[in-house]
Structure 1
Amino acid sequence: MRDKGEFSFSTCWNIKRQPDARAMIEEIVNLGFRRVELNYNVTQRMLKDIEPMIECGKIVVSSVHNTFPHTADPDYGTDSMLLGFADETKRKKAVELLVGSAEYAHRYGAEAVVVHPGEVPIDHADVKMLEKLYHEQGTESEVYLQAWRLFLEQREREAESYLKRIAVSLEEACEASESRGLNVSFGIETRSRPNQIPTLAEAKNVIDRLRGAPVGIWYDTGHAIMMDRLGLYDSVGEMNGLMDHIVGVHIHETIGLSDHWCPYVHSGDREFYDAYLPMIERAKVKVYELKAACLPDEIEESHRLLSTKLAARGRERDHANY
């Protein structure tokens, strides 16, 4: 497999299939990736095998995914209120864990921490119902539009208090990070469920509130596509005000509402994903975040297509500026 250069690859691809940490990293290196994102399922025990591979230069850590290393407490898992907890003790604990993730990122020379900020606590069954209606009725159906309208009313009614606490939590994490000399950025990630924070407008709101802090958006392309399809936001048009604030991207495509597939390859569409190339270009950290079902040859072909398209865009830009 050819060298993937500046592109990084997330351990989410094989961490559940390959519990041996050294073998897990070797599989990623064999795909041609020297840069690796350590995701939130990497445990303290696994790091004992991974750290020597970092120290000897076998891999470079591009980013770590909060909460890192893995915590078994679901209150601080990937789908919780995290930085938006109304309970002050829990919120403070979430901030401490985020700063802990930043300490690991700094130690490993990573550029960023991927952050799931939180969510509006809407019953998961209501969210699943929206997804069911999407598949069975379509977003133009009256039954979907009615359910979506009720969902949005609740979300908009409750979101602001969580956003405020998330902004305070991020500010505290940045202050603690600065005081400890940690040279990392925090990227708040676009999420995969419509009750989760942030929307693109919410991301801009938080970034504007924390102007000057090392906080930007982590643009997860597949998640943004899903939210666009459900009707939460325009995943391309609403990025205009955020292009200068992209910390990193997760590269993957969505088929319907199924995410983490290889761009261009699994959808069979050679053009749709082109709309997300500008975000990938602008990101400081570019990470493939693919599911285990993606095979090495499919990953190679996907990267060939994506990198060829990015190179063509670069040539067009150079020609226009000549």
Structure 2
Amino acid sequence: MSDIALSTMWAIGQFERLADFFHAGKALGFTHFELNHGVDSAMLEGLSLNGCITSVHEPCPADVSMGTLKARNWLVSALDEDERRRGVTAVQRSIDLAHELGAGAIIVHPGRVDVDPELEFRLVALYRQGKAGGPEYAAARERLAAARAARAGANMRSVRRSVLELAEYAEPRGVRLGLENRYHYFEIPLPDEVDELLNLGCGDTVGYWHDVGHAEVLENLGFGTHEEWLQRFAQRMVGIHLHDVVGVDDHQAAGLGNVDWELVARYLPAGALLTCEFQNYNSPEQVKAGLDLLRRAVGEGRPRA
């Protein structure tokens, strides 16, 4: 059997009851699961999950949804102290749930830089139009990078404070924080910011969570390379989200896109938590084929760094 977990991302909007998702996942060969940020307390009620949940993705339980947190700027990166505290509280609820279920880690989104997201949306639109090699695209990318660089320092001060508070909360509960690389360039962290956050003196309580698709998308947009994330942070990796990418469209089942799985496998440390983070549009057959591919490429029994 595989030691690769399946995220409840595949369940949301597809299964009426979460119990049906777990049954379907087990039928496909999964024995362990990650609770994602689409799962709220009502969906968990009555389920016996101890022993099969490897990780929890904040803000699960999403009784305050991720959409609400973003819309109200209740994020760990917020400059307003009340908003920042609400973001920290949301992550603390995930730490509590992970502790209750015996999950060893939570995945943390470290917020965003307060720039106009339209700068990135326009860049992505140009990419989809096939203009990534042209001067208009290069200018749009530079505008986004410059705007982010000008504002990142203030938001990072909030993130540093939040991570220190969360580490203090998580450590006695035996839960590790995996700071995840993000899909959007305007989000936190970039590689140098990961390095900064991993050197706050929190020890093993704070580590890095690698999202394959996010790193791949940023490379496709022209922001660094996928391999840089792996090279720099493999030894601090708590876990990894596994999904494939076509262009800027991620969360495809493994094998449906262009990710270099041999590259990913080369850097995986022993003990890293492995999770398939496939969207619900992937068919059961695609999920099963993706699991089989990942078992061969990065899964159980494969030597790791």
TM-score by length of 1: 0.87
Q: Which moved more, 1:201-210 or 1:104-113?
A: 201-210
Are the equivalent residues in 2 in contact too, given 1:174–1:213 (CA < 8 A)? Answer: no
Aligned match of 2:11: 14
Secondary structure at the aligned position of 1:197 is classed as coil
What is the one-letter code of the residue matched to 1:101?
Answer: S
Q: Is 1:69 the counterpart of 2:61 in the alignment?
A: yes
Residues 117-144 of structure 1 show CA distances to partners (whole Å, capped at 9, x for unaligned) of 1011222322211001112243321000
Separation (CA, whole Å) in 1 of partners of 2:39 and 2:264: 28
Shift in CA distance, 262/73, structure 1 to aligned 2, threshold 3 Å: closer
How many residues were matched structurally? 304
Aligned match of 2:182: 191
Following TM superposition, by how much is the alpha carbon of 1:213 offset from its aligned partner in structure 2, in angstroms?
A: 5.0
What is the one-letter code of the residue matched to 1:63?
Answer: S
Secondary structure at the aligned position of 1:242 is classed as helix
Q: Is 1:116 the counterpart of 2:109 in the alignment?
A: yes
Following TM superposition, by how much is the alpha carbon of 1:87 offset from its aligned partner in structure 2, in angstroms?
A: 0.8
What is the one-letter code of the residue matched to 1:26?
Answer: H
Separation (CA, whole Å) in 1 of partners of 2:230 and 2:175: 23
Separation (CA, whole Å) in 2 of partners of 1:74 and 1:224: 22
TM-score by length of 2: 0.92
Following TM superposition, by how much is the alpha carbon of 1:79 offset from its aligned partner in structure 2, in angstroms?
A: 10
How many percent of aligned residue pairs carry the same amino acid?
A: 25
Bigger Cα Rg:
1
Which stretches of structure 1, 4 residues or longer, exceed 6 Å deviation after superposition?
none
Residues 13-52 of structure 1 show CA distances to partners (whole Å, capped at 9, x for unaligned) of 12211131211221222211111101111111111132x2
Shift in CA distance, 232/69, structure 1 to aligned 2, threshold 3 Å: same
Structure 2 unmatched ranges of 5 or more: none
Q: How does 1:293-304 map to 2 (within 5 A)?
A: 293-304=281-292
Are the equivalent residues in 2 in contact too, given 1:249–1:283 (CA < 8 A)? Answer: no
Secondary structure at the aligned position of 2:170 is classed as helix
Aligned match of 1:255: 246
Are the equivalent residues in 1 in contact too, given 2:210–2:237 (CA < 8 A)? Answer: yes
Secondary structure at the aligned position of 1:49 is classed as coil
Shift in CA distance, 197/22, structure 1 to aligned 2, threshold 3 Å: same
Separation (CA, whole Å) in 1 of partners of 2:271 and 2:60: 22
Separation (CA, whole Å) in 1 of partners of 2:218 and 2:66: 27
Q: Is 1:30 the counterpart of 2:27 in the alignment?
A: yes
Aligned match of 1:174: 167
Following TM superposition, by how much is the alpha carbon of 1:165 offset from its aligned partner in structure 2, in angstroms?
A: 1.1
What is the one-letter code of the residue matched to 1:203?
Answer: V
Separation (CA, whole Å) in 1 of partners of 2:216 and 2:21: 29
